[in-house]
Amino acid sequence: VAPERTVLSLTPTAAPPSFPGFDELYKERQRLRGIDDSVYAQVEPYAGMPKEVLLLYSSQARYRVPREVLFWLTVCCTLALVAVTVAIIALSPPCLGWWQISPVYQVYPRSFKDSNGDGVGDLRGIKEKLDHFHSLNIKSIWISPFYRSPMKDFGYDVEDFRDVDPLFGTMEDFEELLAEMHKNGLKLIMDFIPNHSSDRHRWFNLSRTRDPLYEDYYVWADCNATKKPNNWVSIFGNSSWTYDEVRGQCYLHQFLKEQPDLNMRNPAVRKEIIDIIHFWLSKGVDGFRMDAVKHMLEATHLRDEPQVDPNKPPEEVTTEWDLFHDYTTSQVGLHDILREFRAEMEPYSREPGKYRFMVTESYDYEEVEKTMMYYGTPLVKESDFPFNFYLLDLPQNASGLWAKHLVDLWMSNMPRGKWPNWVVGNHDRSRIASSAGKMYVGVINMLLLTLPGTPTTYYGEEIGMENINITADQRSPMQWNSDMNAGFNNLTNITWLPVHPDYKSVNVEVQKDSEGSTMFQYNFLNSLRQAELPFLRGWFCYVQADANIFSYLRELDGHKEAYLMVLNFGKQSATTDLSSVRELPDQLKVLMSTNSTNNGKVFQKSGIQTAAGEGLVIRYSTYTRFHPSHSTECYVSEKACYLDTVGILYKC
């Protein structure tokens, strides 16, 4: 029994609820408990009161009503919060994938870092240099082939699709590299070669001996040592047919004779390829770059391809440029195969944060509409994007008009809502500093990192490496520092290709903290691209193009900050007059110039000065947008708006 209280209530207490016989039952219960109700009749509620006292007061209006109000207020607030959350989710644009946010960095493993002193880069060497990707704010790493191979085509002739070549290490080395990359938030994209294998592959040896299971794994045709099935020519020149004495037939090879084409019309071959895809995906790789996909099918009728010059003697038709490749590339059924590959990859993307990426490689030159087909359709998914190689042609013509033409070639043909991408260098093409000239490295990197979509950087381009004067001259060892062998091989004085003589001044260690260096500027631009919404989510609009200047802007509805790029690809200084662009403020301040002495400089929009090879990023503040009145000059993959007051994106 609770102790008596000395403070008495002067107000009548509410009677407890009752029903016939309640009073008698209640009094008997209280008597049995030894409780005297008179003790509590005039006592106010107090902390620690027993249940019996609480029950006497809980039904009173002054206690019941606030309790009910709080309950319903909590219910309403919860429902309102759920409604707001649903609305935000419904109105928000889809999150960007890792392959959209970060540039793709191509590692050529032979030349990146040698860990064991044999003069050839390897997987352990890549693992040693993962910090370099963090310093560049790069998350997506594409590694060129490291499969077991005779190396007739630097690894693109695969002897075993499920093994690592000893030159690069072991499968354990690969697994350790992959685990360390994932631990550090990096993604690994593998080169995948579905078109052909090495002539030393087990499949080919079984096929040439007519093993019943492997007889049709490759493309064979009747011929003899002197008479080929047709006039088809390989990418590397001369006939794409080679006579095999063991089988007594010719086999097709659209590349080297040591790279026989797989017969992708054979369901058993497609299953083998799909099994290999599963093999690597189950190990945890994050995506594939599908190599040479346009060559995967050829016409079954084996007719001669038409000559570009009909009057040229057939015996002089020896290069790929002599023929129209109507029967050896982009055949009907090609995209069905690629979509099948994609469908097999999709289940691995269902786990959050584990999206598996697919990019296709196809040089289609002026037939850009063929390249666009690799995007798939609105109903059937294919590659996330096909590689865009058109900017590789920038050095052919040093002008702003040419730069705009190459950019617009992609943007005006890309299917609505798709994601663009840009490549300015790779293992098959001359380096920027050698093909365009060292003075244009900065402005080309600025173009690459401020255009919409995903940029791809070939190793060494972030420091402005140049070619060396031998075969495969764009594949020389990565220049890490001023030490022996540029830090590529610290154990012996051996490198598989010579190191460029300029390595003491052009290297990562020298450039990483030097404000005017190529690497410092690359890092700044990449960080800006990933930090500022107009670059990842905003509109891309042409502003001006002439013999020297290519100018465009990036803006986002509702976002106060916008960016104007003024890039001088010409051979002389230029003054750009943008006074007719009313959406721009009269004064424009340079956020970054490839000539660091011009950082922070203020120009009138009627007189923006640039030297040859100079690029400017200009940041300005306005809510007046350019794209509504210039719709034919502007593009966006998926329209979004920014609500500045609360800092969220929404569909608009």
Q: Per-residue pLDDT tens for 345-357?
A: 999 999 888 999 9
Task: Provide mean pLDDT across the span 475-501.
Answer: 97
Helix (H, G, I), strand (E, B) or coil at 649: strand
Burial of 113 (0-12, 13-18, 19+ CB in 10 A): buried
pLDDT of residue 27: 64
- CA-only gyration radius of the chain, Å: 35
Q: How far is CA 551 from CA 170, 565, 593, 616, 618, in A?
A: 49, 5, 14, 9, 11
Confidence class of residue 295 from pLDDT cuts 50, 70 and 90? very high
pLDDT of residue 146: 98
Q: How far is CA 570 from CA 341, 464, 611, in A?
A: 44, 19, 9
Pairwise pLDDT comparison (94 vs 248), residue with the higher score: 248
Contacts 24+ apart (CB under 8 A), 10-19: 13/41, 13/42, 13/56, 13/57, 14/56, 14/57, 14/59, 14/60, 16/55, 16/56, 16/59, 17/59
pLDDT of residue 42: 46
Q: How far apart are CA 263 and CA 276, in angstroms?
A: 16
φ, ψ dihedrals at 292, nearest 5°: 50, 45
Statement: residue 38 has pLDDT above 80: no
pLDDT of residue 36: 56
Q: How far apart are CA 552 and CA 540, in angstroms?
A: 7
Confidence class of residue 57 from pLDDT cuts 50, 70 and 90? confident
Task: Provide mean pLDDT across the span 231-242.
Answer: 97
Residue 127 CB partners (closer than 8 Å, separation 6+): 115, 173, 176, 177, 180
Helix (H, G, I), strand (E, B) or coil at 564: strand
> Among all residues, which ones are annotated catalytic?
291, 361
Contact 322, 307 (CB under 8 A): yes
Task: Provide mean pLDDT across the span 80-101.
Answer: 88
State pLDDT tens for residues 360-409: 999 999 999 999 999 999 999 999 999 999 999 999 998 999 999 999 99
Statement: residue 132 has pLDDT above 60: yes
C-alpha dihedral, 391 to 112 to 173 to 288, nearest 10°:
0
Residue 577 CB partners (closer than 8 Å, separation 6+): 605, 606, 607, 608
Contact 446, 568 (CB under 8 A): no
Statement: residue 12 has pLDDT above 80: no
Confidence class of residue 13 from pLDDT cuts 50, 70 and 90? very low
Hey, what amino acid is at 535?
Answer: F
pLDDT of residue 30: 60
Statement: residue 541 has pLDDT above 90: yes
Q: What DSSP element (H or E) covers 361?
A: none
DSSP for 207-246, please give it: HHTT-TTTTTSB-EE---SS--SS--B-TTSSBSEEEETT
Task: Provide mean pLDDT across the span 584-610.
Answer: 97
3-state secondary structure 297-351: CCCCCCCCCCECCCCCCHHHCCCHHHECCCCCCCCCCHHHHHHHHHHHHHHHHCC
State pLDDT tens for residues 407-440: 999 999 999 999 999 999 999 999 999 999 999 9
State pLDDT tens for residues 561-581: 999 999 999 999 999 999 999
Pairwise pLDDT comparison (529 vs 45), residue with the higher score: 529
Q: How far apart are CA 269 and CA 261, in angstroms?
A: 11
Statement: residue 37 has pLDDT above 90: no
pLDDT of residue 25: 63
Helix (H, G, I), strand (E, B) or coil at 90: helix
pLDDT of residue 645: 85
State pLDDT tens for residues 168-196: 999 999 999 999 999 999 999 999 999 99
pLDDT of residue 472: 64
Pairwise pLDDT comparison (23 vs 320), residue with the higher score: 320
Contact 623, 630 (CB under 8 A): no
Q: How far apart are the first and last CA of the chain?
A: 68
DSSP for 165-179, please give it: -TTT--HHHHHHHHH
Average pLDDT of every residue of the chain: 92
Statement: residue 522 has pLDDT above 80: yes
